[in-house]
Amino acid sequence: MIELYKLHWSHYVEKVRWALDFKKLPWRGIDIVAFTKKEMRRFDCPQTVPLIHDTATRVAMSDSSPIIRYLDEAYPERGLFPADPVEREQVWQWMLRLDSTLGLYARRLGYTQLIMECPRALAQLFLSNVYRGVFARRGLRTVASPAIGMMLTIRFHFHRNRQDQVYEKLEALLLPVAQKIERDGFLVGQQFSAADLTLASLLRPLRIVPHFSHHPQLQALFGWQERLFREHDRDVAFPYEEAIRVQRERRGVMRGWVSWMQQQLTSTDEATGEVPLQAAKNDLHPVSRWTLILGLPAYLTLRWFNGIARMPYTPAAFLGS
Ligand SMILES: N[C@@H](CCC(=O)N[C@@H](CS)C(=O)NCC(=O)O)C(=O)O
């Protein structure tokens, strides 16, 4: 039995959940409280989710790509890595590269979108298993959601999205990936691998970010993701996607126009992927009561004055394909 410590909406967690289901391994999920993580403190490994504990081998580890590699080595049936060593290494490099770029940027922009359009969803995500969900209820969540938004802003530096060129770097990364997927159907070789699973999972938060979900050159990529979700019996929409869709339909608008983006970055080191990686990078910044002082102005600026303008709501084209 594999125990999976998780935040259920995390796209890194979804990678591991998908791998476990694909390999038909028995597993049970344990929802953690994001602020204390007390459920997983007993394990001597970095305290990020996903974290697994294999009760058969007593291995406990975090970091989604090493977890998937461990599962594939310990339980080789229904392999997620090709047998050929060159292709195997290519899959591994794709995973590390996507974890270190797409995964981090999509997380930043997905949360930013929720803060701009539907902040109450934050209380539902983070607080429904704290004090019996009292802070996630109507009324209290109006106060709780901005507090979580402030903390997340400082943790992930959403207030620096523009300075850090997150939209631009992500676009430069995704356009060639989309072309490759459209041409070959897979990131490596001729069959589904852990690299494709990683790409489809980590793209998920961008389904609510109109700059990407509505980007004419990315429709085939999202269509490919949608088909994989259906073929592999994954949830096609997470609850936060539904929450923001309902809100957009009601108001008839979405925050989608990135006003400062005039032209695309043509190429970045991250987009070309020429430097091999040894491990995935992360971007968790420490939050203390001192850094939190910055939280309120950063949050308010992000929510109201961050240069992402309103536009009429239309569903993304790939949804109808
Ligand atoms: N590279 C890691 C990233 C994991 C990660 O950053 N997980 C986030 C949730 S999406 C986390 O544990 N956050 C806890 C925190 O911010 O303290 C992986 O692939 O598992």
Q: What does the pLDDT look like over 50-88, one tens digit per residue?
A: 999 999 999 999 999 999 999 999 999 999 999 999 999
CB 75 within 8 A of CB 58: no
Q: State the pLDDT at residue 286.
A: 92
Residue 100 corresponds to which amino acid? Answer: S
Model's pTM, two decimal places? 0.96
CB 115 within 8 A of CB 153: yes
Cis peptide before 239 (omega within 30 of 0): no
Rounded Cα distance, 6 and 29, in Å: 7
Which residue from 5, 49, 62, 69 has its CB within 8 A of the most atoms of ligand 1, so it is best to mutate?
A: 49
The CA R_g of the chain, rounded to the nearest whole Å, is 19
- Is 236 touching ligand 1 by the criterion CB < 6 Å? no
- Top CATH class, 2-80: alpha beta
Residue 157 corresponds to which amino acid? Answer: H
Q: Is 94 helix (H, G, I), strand (E, B) or coil?
A: helix
Q: State the pLDDT at residue 267.
A: 67
- Is 14 touching ligand 1 by the criterion CB < 6 Å? no
How do the domains of the chain map onto residue ranges? Answer: 2-80, 99-320
DSSP bridge partners of 254 = 311
Q: State the pLDDT at residue 117.
A: 97
Q: State the pLDDT at residue 273.
A: 75
Q: State the pLDDT at residue 140.
A: 82
The angle subtended at Cα 255 by Cα 253 and Cα 257, nearest 5°, is 115
Residue range 259-296, pLDDT digits in tens: 998 777 766 777 777 789 999 999 999 999 888 888 99
CA of 18 to the centre of ligand 1 (A): 17
CA separation (Å) from 181 to 57, 174, 265? Answer: 37, 10, 20
Q: State the pLDDT at residue 319.
A: 87
CA of 107 to the centre of ligand 1 (A): 10
How many residues are present in the chain?
A: 321
Report, as ranges of residue numbers, the positions in the chain whose pLDDT lies below 70: 266-267, 321
Please report which helix (H) or strand (E) contains residue 182, including its range: helix 166-184
Computed from CA positions of residues 290, 293, 294, 296, in that sequence, does the dihedral angle turn out positive or negative?
positive
Cα diameter, the chain: 56
Rounded Cα distance, 51 and 63, in Å: 7
- Is 49 touching ligand 1 by the criterion CB < 6 Å? yes
CA of 124 to the centre of ligand 1 (A): 19
Q: State the pLDDT at residue 156.
A: 96
Residues 6+ apart with CB under 8 A from 17: 4, 6, 27, 29, 50
Q: Position of tokens 């992930």?
A: 156
Torsion of CA 17, 18, 19, 24, to 10 degrees: 90
